[in-house]
Structure 1
Amino acid sequence: MRVNVMVGGPHDLIPAEMIKQYRDEPWIGVDHGATLLLEWGITPVAAIGDFDSTSPTELARLRAVLNDIEVYPPAKDFTDTQLGIMTAIKKYQPDKIVIWGATGGRLDQELANLYLPLQDAFSDYLSQIELVDRCNVIRYFRPGTYSIHRRPGFDYLAFVNLTPVTGLTLPDEKYPLVNWASTIPFSWSSNRFTSAVNHFSFDSGVVAVIWSRD
């Protein structure tokens, strides 16, 4: 099962046309993300957060429509996004978690969302988490050998080691790489596919692969 988590990030970065393709799947609304879903005709199965970005009128509407809504105080141990992912895992044990609206806006929040899969609470789901916005699709990988597929309209490809990495090899991308290692995070950006399917491998660490477009 695939579960979608809508975070209330900048509206212009959320691809509404893509979201509507998955309207019949389970959705969890995080703070103002729950209101956005209602505006797009999607009733989330749950809403969670401190709702500091949601007006009293919007919150009242959510309470009237949803059976499952959890309101937390602003001072708490977890971010709203973390709470949303925890809810997805606890309620559904999904095969895939897609996070929408988690990028753009405040850089500290964007970085917190980017690094979220590395945290102990989510590491078992690292390879099942995907972040999507209008210009980017981000997936996470553990050591191994992989095939990756070109996505229509996404011209660029990046490989970002989020932890120390060894053996990173890009054998058939436009800009190849052989047995690369680093002790610090680094982004091999603006690469490109050379065919419908390309490949990469690495021996240790965690790598984020980003499909992107301007």
Structure 2
Amino acid sequence: MLVGILVNGAIDDIEFYKKELDGCDYVISADGASNVLYKMKKVPDVIIGDMDSIEEDAKSFFLEKGVEFKRFPSKKDFTDTELSIDYAKDIGADEVVLYAAVGSRIDHSLGNINLLYYMLKRGMQGRLVNEKNEVRITDGKLVIEGRKGDLVSVIPVNGDAIGVTLTGLEYPLTDYTIEFGKTIGLSNVMVGESCRIEVKDGCIFVIKARD
């Protein structure tokens, strides 16, 4: 089951997110993201969080629509996004996409990107998507679909990435070790409609971007 989680991050194109969420099997709104869903008249399956960011008009609208609210204390050890991921796992999600999960708060942006690792270790495929970027994570093999000219970057997650092989990119690598903290994996370019990334030991973020 594909679960889409709309996060209260930066949104430039509401129609982009509406189209993306329409393709999900189940939609979770993380607290303040409900204000955006209200504007697009998109009804989520559940709203999760401490409800400190949702506006009254949006709250009333979704209550009238019969949307389930999962309320948590404002003082808690988990973000609304992490709580939403846990809920997605509980209802049987095997793929979770975080939408609008980056923004002006660098701490929240980094935290949400790192939640891809959290999902990986719990057996879920995770992606983070906005209008210009798609972030994935792998500790094995990954095929990325796209267009010729798309930018693809690979970044070690929590240590050196050993045995990295990149094919279908302008700057290929074969059984290469990318040292944690180094930037050699940034801004590669797809030469066709797909590329393949493999890491033998370690874990890497894979970011497909369009300028």
TM-score by length of 2: 0.87
5 Å matches for 1:1-214?
Answer: 1-12=1-12, 16-23=15-22, 25-91=25-91, 93-119=92-118, 123-126=121-124, 128-144=125-141, 146-151=142-147, 155-164=150-159, 165-187=161-183, 188-214=185-211
- 1:166 is aligned with what amino acid? I
Cα displacement (A) at 1:7: 0.6
Structure 1 CA distance for aligned equivalents of residues 14 and 38 of structure 2 = 15
| Deviates further, 17-26 or 186-195 | 17-26
Structure 1 CA distance for aligned equivalents of residues 139 and 86 of structure 2 = 21
Count of matched residue pairs: 208
Helix, strand or coil at the partner of 1:54: coil
Structure 1 CA distance for aligned equivalents of residues 50 and 31 of structure 2 = 6
Structure 1 CA distance for aligned equivalents of residues 115 and 87 of structure 2 = 14
| Deviates further, 69-78 or 55-64 | 55-64
Structure 2 CA distance for aligned equivalents of residues 15 and 174 of structure 1 = 33
Label 1:175 to 1:35 Cα distance change in 2 as closer, same or farther (>3 A): same
C-alpha deviations, 1:37-75, integer Å up to 9, x for none? 232121111001112222344333333333410122221
Q: Gaps (5+ residues) in structure 2?
A: none
Helix, strand or coil at the partner of 1:125: coil
TM-score by length of 1: 0.86
- 1:190 is aligned with what amino acid? S
Structure 2 CA distance for aligned equivalents of residues 64 and 32 of structure 1 = 18
Structure 1 CA distance for aligned equivalents of residues 17 and 116 of structure 2 = 23
Cα displacement (A) at 1:30: 0.4
Helix, strand or coil at the partner of 1:11: coil
Cα displacement (A) at 1:163: 2.0
CA contact (8 A) 1:7 1:101 kept: yes
- 2:77 is aligned with what amino acid? D
Cα displacement (A) at 1:179: 2.3
CA contact (8 A) 1:51 1:59 kept: no
- 2:35 is aligned with what amino acid? T
Structure 2 CA distance for aligned equivalents of residues 78 and 151 of structure 1 = 37
Label 1:78 to 1:209 Cα distance change in 2 as closer, same or farther (>3 A): same
Helix, strand or coil at the partner of 1:115: helix
CA contact (8 A) 1:147 1:200 kept: yes
C-alpha deviations, 1:170-192, integer Å up to 9, x for none? 23410122322245244411111
CA contact (8 A) 1:29 1:35 kept: no
Structure 1 CA distance for aligned equivalents of residues 100 and 47 of structure 2 = 15
